[in-house]
Copies of this chain bind each other. A is one copy, B any other.
Amino acid sequence: MSKPEVFKELQPLFSPRSVAVIGASNDRNKWGNSTFRSLMDNYKGDLYAVNNRVQSILGYPAYKKVSDIPGHVDLGVIVIPPENVAGVMEDCVKRGVKACVIITAGFAEIGPEGKALQDEVVKIARQGSIRFVGPNCMGMWSAAAKLAAFMFPMNILEGPLALISQGGNIGGALVADGTARGIGFRHYVSCGCTADIQIEDYVEYLGYDDSVKVIMLYIEGLEDGNRFVEKVKKVTRLKPVIALKPGKTDAAARAISSHSGALSGSDLLYEAAFNKAGVLRVESSTELLDVAIGLLTQPLPKGRNVVITTPGGSYGVMCAEACALRGMTVVDLPKQAMETFNQMFPSRWSHGNPVDPAGDRDFVQYMRAPEVVLGCPEVDALIFMGFGSFSNISSVFAGGSSGPDIMNFMKNIDGFEEMAQSALNAFNSEDRDQIRGIVKFILKIIFDSIMPSKNLEMEDFLETLTQSLTSEEMLESSFFKTLKEILISIVAGDVDRLKTVNVMHLMEPIPGSLVRGLIEKYGKPVITTTFTEGNTQLSEAGHFPYSNADRASNVLAKLIDYREYLEKYGEKKESKV
């Protein structure tokens, strides 16, 4: 598809070659100071300071006006009192500035007087072909130019998300939360009062930016709902758009009016517009990020049949409830799976879905359970509970697996010392096939050493885990680092050195690798829960867990919604975004 006009218009905003901060200041108690520092930290292009009272700002020469700047200026960032913005905009037009970010507040959101001021600024910008963000915003981030034009320096991870927010506060917290969880942003715009560039304009631009995989919106009010639907529905057929839109209540509508100056409007109309446009609606900022991460990292399920595996019954109950309340089917276990679980688990296991081994101490069997159900065609998705607990549980149970224990264990294996040496050789020569063979063999030894083997077929499980664990990005993981340390100690016969190795570090990337391997192999979503509030960081093996059944089942429901929308309107797509 050819790129729309707006793509060209917004390029100077998202990839400016030069930026001027109008209102840059040496006074640490002014926004113009922290805004200028925010840009100084990272921006790759030419940076200019504009201040009509001093000679220099934080080591940069200060120009009295934008039009005094000798070089070309793509983007103007405006941090001055509202009454002076129109004049500055005129000067920007004169200088040939292409785009502006108006951080200054005190426009439409404060009433008719501010609205008049805002209209004046819009008129000047339009006449001069300047597109602008704001006013009354916190600024923006664009990864390409490392442009952090914020009211104060913020730490943002680069990545495939984009966020357009009519609230700078919520936007900043989302960016901070995403960064803390390990997921990054290509673009973030705090769009404030959206006097010029509308939310659908940003969405249209982002739709055609291939580095953006998921678009997140915080909306207080739209200028033109029909225009939004027309523009956004073209994008949702290519990539997901998720929106948080408060305003169901009068209290929120009043707060919106005094915040962004927007008319919140009827919630039913918004609901209808989002449905028509294929926008996934969420109810909180946490959910916004949860769903974005789900869409980014999981394939879309083919149907509504979910299986739950849980290391504890009560969490299984909560998860079954959460899934059923969201219109999913907690599907009857296929006969084949029932029979396999009857062999794997103690006779007290739950004998149904949720699959609960009911306190089986052999947690290796629990890790095999996903493979058993994902292979069944009746199963569209899995919620795998207790993610990450294995390493904790194993430290409780396997207190005997210290370095010397492992040494003793391994000494009983014929020719192990030679094997250790040839394993080290393989790691050094980076022969992937050999590494895979060795890792698989060693995984089997580890599982046998932690839990007495039931002599059950675990070929599928070991193969899936090995493939994932030996992928390129895992070769520097704690698994390999620890394994190498153990092998070196064994070859040297150095028990003292072996004692210093924390064997639990071997286990850390295993749950995440397993989940990634399963997603890869079966093309079905495998959503995980940790049981621990706030524990939703990217795991070492590249997987994002959720903290509870509610969040996990909600993400799965949104994946289903999006799949159903795409089946109706979208381009053919079956795998992850």
Contacts and interface: CB of A to CB of B under 8 A. Distances in A.
Interface stretch (A25-33, A194-202, A416-424): A25-33
A92 interface: no
A520 to B, nearest CB: 28
Contacts of A482: none
Interface stretch (A105-113, A226-234, A459-467): A105-113
A118 interface: no
A393 to B, nearest CB: 8
A506 interface: no
A255 B313 contact: yes
B347 A258 contact: no
A296 B34 CA distance: 41
A487 B326 CA distance: 60
Given A285-B548, A533-B536, A251 B170 contact: no
A301 interface: no
Nearest to A176: B532
A167 B321 CA distance: 15
Interface stretch (A396-404, A469-477, A556-564): A396-404
A523 interface: no
A169 B256 CA distance: 42
Contacts of A31: 359, 361
Contacts of A315: 167, 169-170, 173
What number of copies of this chain does the assembly contain? 2
B30 A314 contact: no
A312 B169 contact: yes
Most chain B CB inside 10 Å of its own CB: which residue of A28, A400, A550: A28
Given A152-B396, A248-B325, A110 B452 contact: no
Contacts of A352: 254-255, 258
A262 B168 CA distance: 49
Interface in A296-350: 310-318, 320-321, 323-325, 329-330, 347-348, 350
A380 interface: no
Interface in A253-280: 254-256, 258-260
A220 B317 contact: yes
Contacts of A247: 317, 321
B218 A314 contact: yes
A318 B284 contact: yes
Contacts of A29: 361, 397, 451-452
A397 B533 contact: no
Nearest to A286: B533
Contacts of A536: 533-534
Contact of A400 (B28, B171, B251): B28
A357 to B, nearest CB: 11
A438 to B, nearest CB: 27
Contacts of A351: 258
A128 interface: no
A314 B310 CA distance: 37
A547 B287 CA distance: 13
B398 A320 contact: no
19 contacts: A34-B397, A109-B348, A167-B312, A169-B310, A169-B312, A169-B313, A173-B532, A176-B532, A177-B532, A177-B533, A181-B533, A247-B321, A251-B320, A251-B323, A252-B317, A254-B352, A255-B352, A259-B350, A534-B534
Interface of A: 28-31, 34, 105-106, 109-110, 151-153, 165-173, 176-177, 180-181, 218, 220, 246-252, 254-256, 258-260, 284-286, 310-318, 320-321, 323-325, 329-330, 347-348, 350-352, 354, 356, 358-359, 361, 396-400, 451-452, 531-536, 547-548, 550
Given A105-B359, A167-B314, A251-B321, 7 more contacts: A34-B396, A106-B347, A167-B315, A180-B532, A180-B533, A260-B314, A534-B536
